[in-house]
Each structure stands twice: as C-alpha cells, then as structure tokens.
Amino acid sequence: MESATCVLGLFFSTSSLVGLLCLTGCTGERRAGRSERDDVAAITAVSKARGDAFNQANAAGIALHFTPDALLMAPDKPTLIGKAAVQNYYQQIFDEYKPNLKSYYEEVKVSGDLGYGRGFAEVLLTPRQGGPTLKSTAKYLNIMRRERDGKWTTTHDIWNANEPPDRQ
C-alpha cells in the first residue's frame, strides 16, 4: 500500500527551478535541420510513449525512455538512479495495480540539447486483488536530453500529488 501512496500522481515531475538551472548551463547548438517545433514534438512524443507504456503496465517500456544515469524522484521515496531502478519501481506498482494514466504537458521548452516538459496527470490504480481504486492528480517535470543520435531521453523525472490519494 505504501508504494501506491508514493506512486499516485505517477509519472510526474516537479521543480521548475531544477529544470531552469539545468537549462541555463546548456549552450549546445540546435542540430542541423531541426526546429524548436520539431524538438517540442519529439519531447512530447517521448512523454506519450511513456504514458502508453504505463497504461500497458510495461515497466521496461517506460525505462527505455530514460538515460542510464537518470534520476527518478517519486514522492516520499529516496531518489532512484538508472534504468534498472526505474523499471523496478514501476514493475512493483504494476504487479499490484492495474494502471490508468491521463497526462499532458502544459509547457515544453528547449535550449540546445536540453529541454523540459511540465505537465498535469491523473492516475487511477485498481488493486489486482480487489479493493477500492486509488485516484490522484499531480504536477510533474521531465528534464530531457537530446542524445547523439538525435533522440530525446529523460534525465530527471519528478512529481508530487495535488492532494492526498482518494479511494473511489
């Protein structure tokens, strides 16, 4: 049950200050042939792919979109580091709950090879063994990095709930 409380509001990230601090150090040039609109679309597509994997209870599909040294900062948990830790975190949730996520970015910004997406999410977790569905809304921040191959990956994922979990 503790994992459910920590995960409600899942997938979300916070702290604009952290994102802005990361972005201010970025001086990279935009890749040739790529517009800011292209970068925003690519970052948004990564978020959608992660959301789709979440709704399919596919922990490996979520971890795929993180850097090897990514930080996952879930509420009331120590910071987790790396793809394996991200995958394990989500797998523990999916073993206990059937997930349903609705999320979207409210803002996406890009500076060179760094970017962030700030968003809103609603999560429903239905216990696989029966019981009331847990509901949470959250705000989140994903910090992203463009890799050498041009793909965007998540370096930091942090979120917090807008309210205590609600059992439906």
The three-class DSSP label of residue 94 is helix
Residue 165 has pLDDT above 80, yes or no: no
* CATH number of the CATH domain containing 140: 3.10.450.50
Tokens in use for 38? 């292209």
pLDDT tens readout for residues 15-69: 333 343 344 444 344 455 678 999 999 999 999 999 999 999 999 999 999 999 9
The 10s digit of each residue's pLDDT in 105-121 is 999 999 999 999 999 99
Q: In the structure, what pLDDT confidence band is assigned to residue 9 with cuts at 50, 70 and 90? A: very low
Helix (H) or strand (E) holding 62: helix 59-63
Would you place residue 164 in the very low, low, confident or very high pLDDT band (cuts 50, 70, 90)? confident
Residue range(s) defining the domain that contains residue 66 = 2-167
Q: Residue written as tokens 């509420």?
A: 75
* Domain tally, the chain: 1
3-class state of residue 70 by DSSP: strand
Higher pLDDT, 35 or 78: 78
